[in-house]
Amino acid sequence: MGSYLQETLRCKGAKICSPFVREINGKEVIGYVSSGTGEVFAYSEGKHSVLAYTGGEPYGAVFDSHGKVHIADCAHAAILRVDLANHSHQPGIVVKVYEEKPFRGPSSLAISPSSVTYFTDSGPLGETTLESPRGSVFCIAANPSGGQILKPLALDCLAHPCAVAVSPDSKLVYVAEMMRNRVLRFVQRPAGIYHMSVFHQFAGGLGPSCIACDTAGRIYVGSYDMAGAEAANGRIYILTPQGNVDHVLEVPGQEVTGLCVEGTHKMYVTEATTNALHCISLDSIFKA
């Protein structure tokens, strides 16, 4: 393991995934999801506390610009939202159907700098496979005539799309399609019209499970494999905006389930078999 691995936190809950970061009242708060217990936790100043409880199986969570937590819950087959200003922290449903058809089970979400919410709808592992590629990617965007509109970027055609990220200029959307072991890129032209292509094809492991962009436009991809596979460590690939592999990092455990990047300085990675959250220094990589 390289010198980039700064700190490892042992997390609460089970089957942890989807780390996210926000400053609250001048303090850095690291959030993470416990899909095995239906909870979203926050870690700050050495303490773990429950931000929200969905009663389902949350796979992804993120803060919006107003400090509300948006949650992709596979068991509820819905995107949920929690207002932390409400002391009950009771999740409310944002959306759970498209054209009167229920979702298979949202598995990740990202909110762009322009406040568009993107999410993947893969269902649980095994629901959308190579033999039955029925996963989708959706966005919730402002409607020119008022309100918001839900629309698909890719509908019922992907093999377990399980992670989504947005470029810092909001123009590009990246999706990890696990069962085809690749990353897709969606380009808008004109605004609101998305064109999909293969951005990077991987080999080995089960496939990419998580993805994030930093403020410089680099793309970070976590590769997932089943525990007990030959490799002892999980891998994180850092791709250039042109789709080339720039760096390969390793963390203990093969089941990398989530990552997020803070600016261009830090990355947080969750790994399920160790129930750990790793803090990685990006400065030590790019300034080496």
Which residues are 190's β-sheet partners?
A: none
- Following CA atoms 283, 178, 63, 7 in sequence, which dihedral angle do they give, to the nearest 10 degrees? -40
Q: In what order do the strands lie in the sheet with 117-121?
A: 106-111, 117-121, 135-142, 148-158
Residue ranges, comma separated, of all CATH 2.120.10.30 domains in the chain are 9-219
| 11 — pLDDT class (breaks 50, 70, 90) | very high
| DSSP codes joined into one string, 186-241 | EEESSTT-EEEEEEEE--SSSEEEEEEE-TTS-EEEEEE--TTSS-SEEEEEEE-T
C-alpha dist (Å) from residue 29 to 63, 124, 144, 252: 11, 28, 35, 23
pLDDT exceeds 70 at position 52: yes
pTM of the model as a whole: 0.95
Other beta carbons within 10 Å of 236: 23
Is residue 31 within a helix (H) or strand (E), and if so which, with residue range?
strand 27-34
User: Tokens in use for 7?
Assistant: 């700190």
| 78 — pLDDT class (breaks 50, 70, 90) | very high
Q: How do residues 80-92 score in pLDDT, each as one tens digit?
A: 999 987 777 789 9
Mean pLDDT lowest among 85-94, 136-145, 147-156: 85-94
pLDDT at 153: 98
Q: How do residues 159-190 score in pLDDT, each as one tens digit?
A: 999 999 999 999 999 999 999 999 999 999 88
| 75 — pLDDT class (breaks 50, 70, 90) | very high
pLDDT at 288: 59
Q: Which residue has the higher pLDDT, 97 or 204?
A: 97
Question: What is the mean pLDDT of the segment spanning 148-166?
Answer: 97
C-alpha dist (Å) from residue 267 to 1, 107, 112, 212, 279: 15, 21, 18, 9, 6
Question: What is the mean pLDDT of the segment spanning 220-242?
Answer: 89
Question: What is the mean pLDDT of the segment spanning 17-45?
Answer: 93
Q: How do residues 250-283 score in pLDDT, each as one tens digit?
A: 999 999 999 999 988 899 999 999 999 999 999 9
pLDDT at 142: 87
CATH architecture of 9-219: 6 Propeller (2.120)
Mean pLDDT lowest among 14-28, 36-50, 52-66: 14-28
| 201 — pLDDT class (breaks 50, 70, 90) | very high
Amino acid code (one letter) for 107 = S
